[in-house]
Each structure stands twice: as structure tokens, then as C-alpha cells.
Structure 1
Amino acid sequence: MTPINIGLTQEQRQGVINLLNQDLADSYVLLVKTKKYHWDVIGPQFRTLHQLWEEHYEKLTLSIDAIAERVRTLGGYPVGSLEGFLKIATLKEDAGRVPTATGMVSNLVNDHEQVIRNLRQHIDQSSEEFHDEGTADFLTGLLEAHEQIAWMLRSFIEGEALEADGKQPAAETKTPVGV
């Protein structure tokens, strides 16, 4: 086997590979949860959420492949079993129950925000501890994608009224009945 000579030691590459494998595991758990919710959602928001989650799981599928390929680029092997994913993932399955549509959205917001927090930490570690700016940049792209998805999901359940300029409207004053 030809040694990898990209300016990172084996220890640095292995440190980054470990971070990437955790990100891969979290992404896979999130993919499964998103697909499950896509299949199980019911209620007046069915069509909107069904379509939104299809977009999300398609993006997750692409990012999963990119993470695994980044691991291979660095000379490692991606985790590739459900058992392996569940051992190192920070996210938990939502097995055995079907939440309401709003509950599903809320669960996915929480999961994407956990992934975002993990990615921030992994970006710092990749750069500062392992001196792998390429992986830090790669993870930054993933972070931005998860931030956008979390924003979309939060927006779905927040339901705050806004003026055309994006500001919240002034509190409405109600006149007592009969005055």
C-alpha cells in the first residue's frame, strides 16, 4: 500500500476520521428518522411535510456519501453498519412511537441542532487539534446545510406573525366589547 503523504500524520488523519465517522453515524440516524416521519406524517400538514422531508432526506443521502468519501480520502474506512452507527451516534432513534406532525418537526429541529453543535466542535477540532483545514472546510459546508434545514423546520412550527418588512407587528390593542 502506498503511504498517504498529504501533510497530515496518521494520528491526525485518524483523529479526523473518528470525527467524520461520528458525523456519518448521526447523519444516518437522522436520515432514518426523517424517512420514517416522511412515511408516517398525517394531518393537514401532510403534503407539505411529506414533500419537505423528501427534500431533506435526499440532501442527507448526498451528505452521507460525501462524509464516507471524505473518510476514504483520508485513508480510513467509514462505519457501515446500523450497529456501528448506533454505537457512536449522538442522536437517538425514535423507535416505537409516532409523534404528531408538530412533534415530528420539533424532534427533527432538535436533532439538526445537535448535529450543528457537533459540527461546530468538529470544525474546531479538525482545524486546531488535527490541522486539517480541508476537513474543517468540508464540515463547514455540512454545518450550513443543517442550519438551513433547522431554520426551515423551526419556521414551520413557530408561526409568528410578521410585517412585510420582517418585523413583528405591534401588540394589538383590543377594545372591550360593549364600549
Structure 2
Amino acid sequence: MRRINIGLTDKQRQGVVNLLNQDLADTYLLLVKTKKFHWDVVGPQFMTLHKLWETHYEALTINVDLIAERIRTLGDYPVGTMEGFLKTCSLKEHPGTIPLATEMVAQLLNDHEQIARNLREHVQQCSEEFEDDGTADFLTGLLEQHEQTAWMLRSFIEGDAIETDGSKPNAKKQIVEV
């Protein structure tokens, strides 16, 4: 096999691959959970969540492929089995339960936030410890996607009604004369 000469040592590349395999495993488990909730959701929010999660699992499917290909780009092989994913990931399954729609949202929110925290650490490690700014940049893009998805899910289950001007209904509005 021809030696890889992309400006990273074998040790640096292996360190990055280990991080990417965790990100791959987390993304794959989140994909499975999102698909499962897409199938199982019921209630008044059915159509909204069914469509939202379809969008999410399509994006996650693309990201699974991109992460695996980044690992191949670095000259290694991605984890590719359910056993491997479950050993490697930081997320947890909740088998045997079908939660209410809002709990589904909360679980996926927690998972996206966990992945965002992991990615933030991995970006820093890739850049500072392993000197791989290419992978750090790649992971930053994934981080931004998970942050945005978390915001959308958080917005679904949090907050009070607000007026179009951003104020709360029935709140005393203070009039300021200029």
C-alpha cells in the first residue's frame, strides 16, 4: 500500500479518524432514532413532525456518507456495523418505548445538543492537537447544522406565545417618549 503523504503523521491521522468514527456512530444512531420517531409519531403534531423528521433524516443520511468518506480520505476505514456504532457512540438508545411526540422532540434535541458539544471539542482537537484544519473545518459545518436543528427542536417545545413585535401577550407595554 502506498504511504499517505498529506502533511499529517500517522498518529495525527489516527487521532482524527478516532474522533470521526465517534461522530459517524453518533450520527448513525441519531439517524435511526429520527427515522423511528418519524414512523411512530402520533397526535396533533403528527404531520408537522413527520415532515420535519423526514428532512432531518435525509440530512443525517448525507452526513453519514460525508463523515465515512472523510475517514477514507484520511486513509482509514469507517466503523460500519451496528455493533461498532453502539460501542463507539456517545448517544444512548431508548429501546422498547414509544414516547409522546413532545418527548420525542426532547430526546432528539438532547441528542443534537450532545453531538454539537462533541463536535465543538473535536474541532478544537483536530485543529490544535492533530493539526488537521481541513477536518476541523469539515466538522465546523456539521456543528452548525446540529446547532440549527437543536434550535428548531427547542423552539417546538419551549416558549410562550408572543406578539408579532416580540412582546408577550397581555404584558404591559412601556411607552417611551422621545
Larger mean Cα displacement after TM superposition, 113-122 or 151-160: 151-160
Contact kept, 8 Å, 2:31 with 2:61, in 1: the verdict is yes
- Find the counterpart in structure 1 of residue 12 from structure 2: 12
Percent sequence identity is 69
- Find the counterpart in structure 2 of residue 176 from structure 1: none
Q: What TM-score comes out, normalization by structure 2 length?
A: 0.93
Cα deviations across residues 50-103 of structure 1 (Å, max 9, x unaligned)? Answer: 000000000000000000000000001000000000001000112100000000
Q: What TM-score comes out, normalization by structure 1 length?
A: 0.93
Instruction: Say whether 1:152 aligns with 2:131.
Output: no
In structure 2, C-alpha distance between the alignment counterparts of 1:159 and 1:64, rounded to whole Å: 32
Amino acid at match of 1:147: E
Contact kept, 8 Å, 2:162 with 2:169, in 1: the verdict is no
Task: State the Cα distance separating 1:170 from its structure 2 match.
Answer: 6.7
- Find the counterpart in structure 2 of residue 132 from structure 1: 132
In structure 2, C-alpha distance between the alignment counterparts of 1:37 and 1:98, rounded to whole Å: 8
Structure 1 gaps of 5+ residues are 174-179
1:57 counterpart SS class: helix
Larger mean Cα displacement after TM superposition, 154-163 or 28-37: 154-163
Structure 2 gaps of 5+ residues are 173-178
Amino acid at match of 1:76: D
- Find the counterpart in structure 1 of residue 171 from structure 2: 172
In structure 2, C-alpha distance between the alignment counterparts of 1:169 and 1:52, rounded to whole Å: 27
Task: State the Cα distance separating 1:114 from its structure 2 match.
Answer: 0.2
- Find the counterpart in structure 1 of residue 62 from structure 2: 62
- Find the counterpart in structure 1 of residue 80 from structure 2: 80
In structure 2, C-alpha distance between the alignment counterparts of 1:42 and 1:4, rounded to whole Å: 51
The number of residues matched between the two structures is 172
In structure 1, C-alpha distance between the alignment counterparts of 2:97 and 2:89, rounded to whole Å: 20
In structure 1, C-alpha distance between the alignment counterparts of 2:93 and 2:141, rounded to whole Å: 25
Instruction: Say whether 1:115 aligns with 2:100.
Output: no
Larger mean Cα displacement after TM superposition, 151-160 or 49-58: 151-160
**Root mean square deviation of aligned Cα:** 1.2
In structure 1, C-alpha distance between the alignment counterparts of 2:122 and 2:22, rounded to whole Å: 10
